[in-house]
Structure 1
Amino acid sequence: MNIQRWIARRQPSWQELDTLLKKAEKQGLKTLKADEIRQLSSLYRSVSGDLARAKTNQVGELVVRDLHSLTTRGYSQIYQGSRRQEWRAIREFYLWGFPAAVQQAGGYIAFATALFVLAGLIGWWLSWRDPNFLRLIVPGHLIEQVRDRGELWMGSIVGMEPFASSSIMINNIQVSLAAVAGGMTAGLLTLYSMLLNGLMIGTIGALVTQNNLAFPFWAFVFPHGALELPAIFLAGGAGFLLARAIVFPGQYRRSDALKLYGTRAAQLVFGLVPMLVIAGIIEGFFSPNPYVPNVVKYLAGLVLFVSLIAYLSRKRL
């Protein structure tokens, strides 16, 4: 390769990239016109190739250093702008996209919620009619602790809050993702997850009520449950969206239906995971705190739930 001829031929491109970069660095990338941005990207790729070629052919330390400087500046402008756009997209999703996705999937979420509530009522009713039913659902040591010692089990969290909080987060996310993935079994595992979780909460609710511990128990549940339970309902709705694509694809091919409803389900998952993280922090640090009055816990749960409903009801004007 004739190095001098190659440098002379490529130098105008390097100078043009340098000019565009100076403008972007001084006035901001937004000030560039669409054609200039396209040219900037094209020149950046071209100069990156020149840098690799210059290193391979040992064209000189000065040229390599200048090309390296150009590519570094180009990378900073192009990918910094890309990252800013990504952050704007994330912000836009959580401001408007997630509430819109919840509203669009409202029927599926309502169905999941109804299954959970129905199972909870059945668990409550059976627990009052047949004491032996409790032992089928609730571990024996918890029944013994509540009935024989008159104690709730949440006090074990106190003193190990960070570990408990992270464990709770991981468990809740796993349960929710399992409910979502259950949609791929035509919704059977999602159905099972909603019914089982509802049955558990109804049965445990009956147990603590029978032993006069309902008030402190629900005081513990309310703060984190205001986010955790709706997140489970959203996970159930996402699972039933996937089941809809498999069982009732309608006018779409099943693969196309999975893409359509799978995208909507993914939007619900992206939104519910932060809800579960926040709920896990509350459940680990706030809900079991013996120094926080129960009335304050009820109030905190109510405020969180009302705020969540208001947020999910948002519509872009």
Structure 2
Amino acid sequence: MDIDVFAAAHAREWERLNDLVRRRRSLRGEEIDELVDLYQRVSTHLSVVRSSGQDPALVGRLSALVARARSAVTGAHASAWRDVGGFFTRVFPAVLYRLRWWWIGTTAGTLVVAGATAAWIATNPDVMHAVGTPEFIARYVDYEFANYYMENPRGSFAAQVWTNNAWVAAQAIIFGVALGLPTLAVLLMNAVNVGVGAGIMIAHGQGDVFLGLILPHGMLELTAVFVAGGVGLKLGWTIIAPGDRTRMRALGEEARAAIAVALGLVVVLFVSGLIEGLVTGNAAAGHIPVPVALGIGGLAELLFLVYVFTVGKKAHQEGETGDIENAPAAVPVA
């Protein structure tokens, strides 16, 4: 297809749609019908241009026009709360389910690295001494590890944890565009840090303390990080092996799905941050029994997995891909 000829043939339709969108608040009945018709036609044009893979600039221009037109067509008929509900009942869980093997594999690999690091630290005194001085390690085991969860007010600590974890997850996803290599580095660093802490505590007979204070919030928190890492790796792999799609189209579709995951994980990490600040912190201070804290953390993790493998599976089987550009439009009324 000659993209220049195609653009010239449809330029007047695109200009007309842009004009109608700009005047959407003062359109007459017949103009509203024309707006809907042009929105549908230009959406088809966008698919054709994207499939050709010849002109990314034109794809971007038409994508912006179609998005504005969609907002004009659906804005008066679909509430924001309905959109939010649709996102969390279809888009977000569907992409989590579709990419499940990527983040399950990331989970397994990270746990192997963390476990190997912990075993190496715990069984090799020379390695532990390289990590820090005996005084530093004794202070970490006897005071700093547990005090980390108690030294700040619960609310501000939860907010701090949420912000930090959301940033780590965002990095893991965003770095996927660099073939996933920085994502691997983020995951490796996270795994090694967890392994070092575990190894030090286990070597000093405090393995139960480590698990009792890490697992309540860590089950959901680390799952979110693993999901972000898996999505980032999938994004990088899409650039290397786009399959039967053009590389540009494949990257666009997976990047939009990755954005959906990033948005959804903000809520997941908010929950894990609350657990860390309010549950783990109180467990560290002795105000909540550790088994109760573990039960709360385990319940949160179970609910997340049930959400993915029931709600997400159903949405995926119904054709939802997690591509936020494919959100259904409401039926327009002239």
The normalised TM-score by structure 1 is 0.69
SS at match of 1:313: helix
Equivalent residue, structure 1, for 2:314? 316
What CA distance in whole angstroms lies between the structure 2 residues aligned with 1:97 and 1:243?
21
Equivalent residue, structure 2, for 1:155? 147
1:227 CA drift (Å)? 1.4
Counterpart of 1:206 in structure 2: which amino acid? Answer: G
- The answer to whether structure 1 residue 103 and structure 2 residue 97 are counterparts is yes
SS at match of 2:79: helix
The CA deviation string for residues 22-46 of structure 1, in whole angstroms up to 9 with x for no partner, is xxxxxxxxxxxxxxxxxxx989415
1:242 CA drift (Å)? 1.3
SS at match of 1:151: helix
What CA distance in whole angstroms lies between the structure 2 residues aligned with 1:123 and 1:307?
30
1:84 CA drift (Å)? 4.5
Contact 2:217 2:280 in 1 (8 A): yes
What CA distance in whole angstroms lies between the structure 2 residues aligned with 1:212 and 1:224?
22
What CA distance in whole angstroms lies between the structure 1 residues aligned with 2:24 and 2:195?
64
The CA deviation string for residues 202-246 of structure 1, in whole angstroms up to 9 with x for no partner, is 221121122222223222222211210110011101101210122
Which has the higher relative contact order, 1 or 2, with Cα contacts under 8 A spaced 6 or more apart? 2
What CA distance in whole angstroms lies between the structure 1 residues aligned with 2:169 and 2:133?
22
SS at match of 2:243: coil
Contact 1:145 1:152 in 2 (8 A): yes
The CA deviation string for residues 250-289 of structure 1, in whole angstroms up to 9 with x for no partner, is 2222211210211222222122111111111221222111
Counterpart of 1:143 in structure 2: which amino acid? Answer: I
1:86 CA drift (Å)? 2.9
Identity %: 24
Contact 1:241 1:265 in 2 (8 A): no
Q: Alpha carbons of 1:186 and 1:209: their partners in 2 closer, same or farther (altered >3 Å)?
A: same
- The answer to whether structure 1 residue 255 and structure 2 residue 248 are counterparts is yes
Q: Alpha carbons of 1:206 and 1:184: their partners in 2 closer, same or farther (altered >3 Å)?
A: same
- The answer to whether structure 1 residue 296 and structure 2 residue 292 are counterparts is yes
Equivalent residue, structure 2, for 1:234? 227
Contact 1:115 1:194 in 2 (8 A): no
1:91 CA drift (Å)? 0.5
Q: Which has the larger radius of gyration?
A: 1
1:97 CA drift (Å)? 2.5
What CA distance in whole angstroms lies between the structure 2 residues aligned with 1:174 and 1:43?
38
Contact 1:246 1:254 in 2 (8 A): yes
Q: Alpha carbons of 1:207 and 1:255: their partners in 2 closer, same or farther (altered >3 Å)?
A: same
Contact 1:152 1:217 in 2 (8 A): no
Contact 2:215 2:294 in 1 (8 A): yes
- The answer to whether structure 1 residue 116 and structure 2 residue 114 are counterparts is no
Contact 1:223 1:297 in 2 (8 A): yes
Equivalent residue, structure 1, for 2:26? 45
Counterpart of 2:278 in structure 1: which amino acid? Answer: F
Equivalent residue, structure 2, for 1:15? none
Gaps of 5+ in 1: 1-40, 48-77
Counterpart of 1:188 in structure 2: which amino acid? Answer: L
1:89 CA drift (Å)? 2.0
Equivalent residues in 2 for 1:273-284, closer than 5 Å: 273-284=266-277
Equivalent residue, structure 2, for 1:305? 301
Q: Alpha carbons of 1:267 and 1:81: their partners in 2 closer, same or farther (altered >3 Å)?
A: closer
